[in-house]
Amino acid sequence: MKSLTATEFFFQKQTAFYRGKVRDVYTVDGKYLVMVATDRISAFDVVLPKGIPFKGQMLNQIAAKFLDATDDICPNWKIASPDPVVTVGYKCEPFAVEMIVRGYLCGSAWRAYKSGLRELCGVNLPEGMCENQKFPTPIITPTTKAEQGLHDEDISREEILAKNIVSRSDYEQLEKYALALFRRGTEVAAQRGLILVDTKYEFGKRGDEIYLIDEIHTPDSSRYFYAEGYRERFEKGEQQRQLSKEFVREWLMENGFRGKAGQRVPEMTDEIVESISRRYVELFENITGDTFCGAEYSDNVYERIERSVKNLLSRLL
């Protein structure tokens, strides 16, 4: 199975290029971003050695769908998606923090809680909680937005304000937007028989206005449980059936990899790669309610992407 792991374009009036963990980002005319969602996959802030076929298409289409479905809550950067793997939007000045909203105690938060910690990013956690238990109200646990190759770090609201990383007025607006987006995501998930467990949002500024940027409610940025059977599994202390990238992290941990120095990524066989791709199709179809129809990776895939982007840019520039 073929995958798209990197692109190298040069568009008219291109002024910068950045390769993230998953996306290749082109800045055009200082005003627009062309974001190509590749099939790269990362875990523990490490890009794994093989791409996952169709992953980029699925992430891009999920993000585009939910950006459109939440633009009444918060303005966002998206202008159009001219290709299955591309979104073109406004260039914003990103805030140096990511807003993590958690509705349930699981993942890294549960691992910290199980180790004895009762405070997460300045938020006090109740005693006696169990894995996958719902919080009384969703909590926000921000992280720093790390430079490429570095790990994001937990940070508290108080530290953000004390260090003036974000102004108080802007941060309060980020909190309002993040919680409102999470409520909308929770409502949409419930319609699909899912529970939105936790997610991350990134924001930036365009002029004086705050915009939602990057992806939203995708399985790379969010964790979902199946609603059916949640209560029974929780009461029995069983693992939840979930839709997220957590299964990739679990596979890595089972094979001795947690992204720490000196550790090696386990071999990604063709069978592993194909199984991850199938799981992403399951994620896509359950989250969106749509049947996934992937655009094949023919020899002219780069020409197709370039042509689609150039056609859109010709109308913007």
Q: Give per-residue pLDDT as tens, 202-211.
A: 999 999 999 9
pLDDT of residue 246: 81
Residue of 108 and 167 predicted with greater confidence? 167
Q: Cα separation of 153 and 161, whole Å?
A: 16
Task: Find, among 225, 245, 212, the residue nearest to 103 by Cα.
Answer: 225
pLDDT of residue 256: 94
15 band by pLDDT with thresholds 50, 70 and 90: very high
143 band by pLDDT with thresholds 50, 70 and 90: very high
Residue 176 neighbours by CB under 8 Å, 6+ apart: none
Span 107-119, pLDDT tens digits: 889 999 999 999 9
Judge whether residue 148 has pLDDT over 60.
no
- pTM confidence score: 0.90
Span 51-67, pLDDT tens digits: 999 999 999 999 999 99
Percent of residues, the chain, with pLDDT higher than 90: 87
Residue 6 to residues 44, 120, 187, 223, 233, Cα–Cα distance (Å): 20, 36, 35, 26, 41
Contact 100, 198 (CB under 8 A): yes
Task: Find, among 81, 75, 58, the residue nearest to 292 by Cα.
Answer: 58
Q: Cα separation of 194 and 175, whole Å?
A: 24
Domains of the chain by residue range? 14-93+269-316, 96-247
The per-residue b/e assignment along 116-130, b for 16 or more CB within 10 angstroms, e otherwise, is: eeeebbbbeeeeebe
Domain 96-247: homologous superfamily in CATH: ATP-grasp fold, B domain (3.30.470.20)
Topology at the third CATH level for domain 14-93+269-316: Phosphorylase Kinase; domain 1 (3.30.200)
Sign of CA dihedral 308, 310, 313, 314: negative
